[in-house]
Structure 1
Amino acid sequence: MRLVIVFICLTVLSGYVANADEQLSRQSKQSALEADLERLANTDVSKLAVYTELVKLIRRTDPQQALKYGEQGVALHFQHNAAGEHAKLIGYLTKIYLERGQLDVAAEMIERGLELANKSGDTLALSVNLFNQALRYQLSNQLILAISSYQALETVYQDLADNARLASTYNNLGIIYFKLGNFDQALRAYQKALPLYSEQTNSSHYANTLMNIGEVFYWLNDYRQAEQNYLLGLEQIDPQSAPLSHLEGKQRLGMLYLAQKRFVIAREHFERALELALIHELTSTQITLYFELIKLAAETNDTLLMQSSLVSAEQLMPLQTKSELLTSIDYFRAFVASYNGDWQRAEQSIDRLFNNKLFKPRYFVLQDAFSLAFKIKARLGKAEQANELILKSFNHYQQHQEDNRDIQFSQYAQLYKTDQKEHQLAVLKQQATLQENERLKAQQTATVKTFVFVLISLILLMLVLVFSMKTRSLRRENQLSNQLMSEKKQFFADISHELRTPLTVFKLKMEELEYDIADDPKTVYKLLHERIDSFNCLINDISLLALNDRGELELDRETFALQHFFERRAAELQVLAERHSLSVQINIRLSAWHNATLDGARIRQVLTNLFSNACRYTNSPGNIVFTVEVNNDELLWSIEDSSPALEPEQYQKIFNRLYRADKSRSRKLGGSGLGLAICRDLICAHHGSISAEPSSLGGVKVSVNIPLNQ
């Protein structure tokens, strides 16, 4: 703890020293420029450049004074014909309005700045105003137009051979493509920026781009590659000179480890990021970190951490202005209240969340909010209201998506209008040139025709692209709807089949008894009893799944010795395997002091289902290996068997209800097709997980883990 405090103090102290040196240097430059203003006469054109440098120097530290110098400079510009210098001055003045969020004022100035820059042919002035245009579009969420401006800016920086700003342009393009969900384009942009940043002395830009690439892999669920990128980025960052980049890296790693269920190391990274956010008074970042800690607390059943994190986030809310954070807090309030069983408070929070119409939350998954709302309403006996709430919210979401598509289409249309305007200007210039020089008439006419043809071709191509994107989106929605309908039909068809076949046999055997034509009535009665038992099992399975769907599945927990419990289950497996002519290897790596508080009957039900599946679907002679152990406060067991194996795509599907890998063989061997689905629900009720993968014995390996610190 002392080392942490010393580190924080050194970080703050080094920051103060660096800021003091920078401030002295800036004041010295400002004094020299102000002396030049006093010395130069208004008739001296070099005075224009001094005003530009002054605005550029102090626009962040003293924006009001910078605006005054800017006004004086603009007034002086009208006495001189220096469009390039005028454009640069407007460009730096525009940055002040962009930083203040006055986007309408900035838009007018950008238009004037670009006009002067194009008129003068000054590439540097053009780059300043083009960057302002791209930034304004980005700040106003006009991302399609922002991409177009950054692409134009890319060409300008290439002409200037300005690799530092070119790298920044590629990085900004990557951020926009990532926000639009175009991960391939985002990766290409980041990969262009990376080698350019590696040439710079400031390694933090290179590190941030490395971590941006890691963010793409994180969203693609490639956690291993994401972790490598995050760690490489953090290695390049000096926590003292770039504490905010260091903070962001820690936060990203924490989210990654949370997704991997590596809870201890995830918490360490979140708490380190919180320390840095507190030092630099980053309220928004602190709140988002408390959100992540609430998720972590839910995974580890740490009620104290969950409650304290929510309280800390709520205390910071009065300092917050971001509407997304102000709305997201209601989700976490509902989440924590439902976790604590306070359903009334949970309902109030979830209702506020959906009334605020947050369609693309950054800090939680919208589907999780729908599920939470349904769970809360169902607990309060308001299932119909829950369905109405979710349907209404989903309709709002669809409308929001349509509005977004319309906004993007309007941005494409604006690009087309800009191209047409530029075309009209080009035609006017061509006409003026024709009047001055008739000899070039034929050549210029051909150029205009070619330009028009290319322009129309590009417009048609873009229209086709927009239409294709919209058609693809509609087709995808239609496919999803058809898939849901198909799964529903298949579910009822399978249930029907499960009941129809045994009922038919039941009816035939009853008729044999009724008409006294049965060869052996005792055998028939025995078969009928077996069929009735089969019906009871199927009904019990469906009833258990229905209880779980309604959130009414309850566990009867008791504390018992694990070693004795699993030795008895292993004995049952031995008996079952002998009936199927299979050999069994038992690996019970437990000690007498290993105890757990679980629902023993439900755990036995899971083991019975898994043992039964392993014995029924393993070719005889064959092998079964049953292993159980406790590791890091988790109960782990696995059951693996010899051939046959499954197809690669079947390992995830076997936990679906009524799914059978081989339908004909499954029905021949018996079973309802619900056993593994029930196993999954019972293990999830214990806050555990179950999965299937290929076995080293040539068959299937099913693994289960259950946390013991609940």
Structure 2
Amino acid sequence: MFKRLLAASILTIITTGASVAASDTFKQYKTLSEAQGRKDRVALLKTASELLQSNTLSPEQRTYVLHRSALHLVRENQFEHAQQRLAQLELHLKDFPDVNLQGKYHWVSGDLALLLGNTQSAEFHFSEAVALFKQTNDMRMLSHAHRLLANVLSEKGDYFQAVSHVFQAKDTALKTENVHLFYAALSTEARIYRDFKQFDKALDVLNQKLQFQEQQPKVNLAHLSSTYFSLADIYQSLSDHDAALSALQKSYELDSQLNDKNYMGVSQLHIAQQYLQLSNVPAATEAVDRALALFKEVNNRHNIGQAEATQGQIKLASNQFEEAVELLQTALEKINTSNNPQLYSRYQSLLGQALSHIRPHAAINLLKPLLESTDEQFRIRILRSLSRAHKQLGELELALSYQEQAFNYKEQLTEKDITTRLEAKKFNSELGLKNIEVNALQAGLEEQQQDTKTRTVILASAIIVLTNFLLLFYLYHLKRRRVMEKEAELLNQSLNLKQQLLADVSHELRTPLTVLKLNIEALEYNLTEDPKSTYQVLQRRLDMLNTLIADIYELAQADTNNLRLEFETLQASALFDELIIAIGPIIESPDLEISYLNQLPESLQVECDMSRLNQVFNNLARNSIHYTDRPGKIKISVFQQHQTVVCTFEDSAPGVSSHALSKLFDRLYRCDKSRSRDLGGSGLGLSICEKVIELHHGAIEAKHSELGGVLIRFTLPIKNT
């Protein structure tokens, strides 16, 4: 019988050869996709296409390939293909939901939306990603999602929410001890400080990050480039264009080493802007031409539009108004007004400025509607352009009116800028007494008013500090109280478990001892007709007691960490074949159909105690034999899943209820107590199996079997070679 079983197993392995080959291709693809350092994305995308065209992938494998290939398409700047692949992934996840992969779908979609300049879509996708990664407790991806959402919110001007998300990104990165994630969050924090007019603090954060990155033994070029780019952004806000230009040149050099053409083009585009601020038109022209060529290589329509608009701005600075109008009109056709309203308004204001020199009527028709709808930072340019257009038409009164409006609005912006800086200082309690320096900006105020405002700021800072102290004090005591309550709850739970165990053990011992006592009395008073059979009953009961005591002893050793295992490294496939051979005499039965399938590759190794695993196999095999109605089926399978070896014991009817299924590993628990005692079970076999598997750093669980009975599934980690 057992020889027939082995022959059938070999035949099954041969017939699954094709599936194993496809599985090997997927494993290789996954390994290369997750490898550290630079990847051959072109080769990976080719392999992904081949895998997706085949019918050998499981739903989980197809989900993985769709997600990874979409990410690689974004990194390779194949944006249209990336959108198509993401649409495929979205449809696939509806049929085969996976919360973590749904979060990654939204994360990649948000990243793509950012590259395409669609901030509204990016905010939606990153918000969804945050919620989903919280469900799966994927801390690394959660930090990524918080940081990128903070970026988007900062662009919208929602600074308080942006700060909240960037702090959560930092906290999550620290929990995972991921330094690169933590410093990526610092870059976002610096950007938010810049947007909130706290330039000194933004520079401090970025310089600390830069110093740390340059001291690392292995410098991440992409992260270092991002830091220099962020520094340039701050220097530009401070109007230090030479320093900004130097930082952008370093960022471009790093992007060139990575051959990231999209980011190379973005750096060159910003370099052109700095040269334009320094009135170096030839250098600006050369930089924007390089940027345009790079954007055309990666076919990024949005960035091509920005490059053409910058060319138009250069022509405008050179008083070549016709060329400026033509370039700006071409650029506006490539900018999506619904996704990028601020950028679109900026280029419209530049177009109106160019038209005001040569076509005043067209300039007025374009710019007047923009006065109410455009962003405030472009309003001064619009007012001045309208003034120039009316002056060109000889309408001097209107020209003077718009000029006065531009002057007054500039003063309002100056006052608003000062107010924003003051508010930023107040909201940041760490700066405290530095608010005194802000009062120096209030030139012209009387000495008494300045002193009063200083005292107000100091008092407000003191109140904030005191409030924070009281809040921390309250939270400390609240946390301490919760810890004490939790400890008391665990102690009570331990006492209850101990009392329950003692009660169960005493009950289990009382029953066989009572039987022994009755049979001994029967022998003593000659009340039995067959003494030999009575002695056999006594022998069986003594064996049951020995089994129960031995099992209790093993569990006690495990509970006190005294159950020692002798680990050795073994070839996984051969190990399980030997374990099956060892339980051959137990499972061989004429009225039971036994099947065994070993799908493990020959290269896998596991570190284990073979004698203890043999004990697990014996317990599981006896359970399946004892609790399966005849005729019946028992199916044993072994296969690889990710970085683990999975073994399943599956039997046919009768099954157990869902309530009983969750208690099978509880000590002394039996679904059918009388039947279990008749079969000699102690009720501790599955508990011992659970302890042995845990000591092997694996996991064991019980489920309903498709055959109608119970499925026991345990895993062992693969040893890395």
Query: Which structure has more RCO (C-alpha within 8 Å, separation ≥ 6)?
Result: 2
TM-score (ref. length: structure 2): 0.44
Higher Rg: 2
TM-score (ref. length: structure 1): 0.44
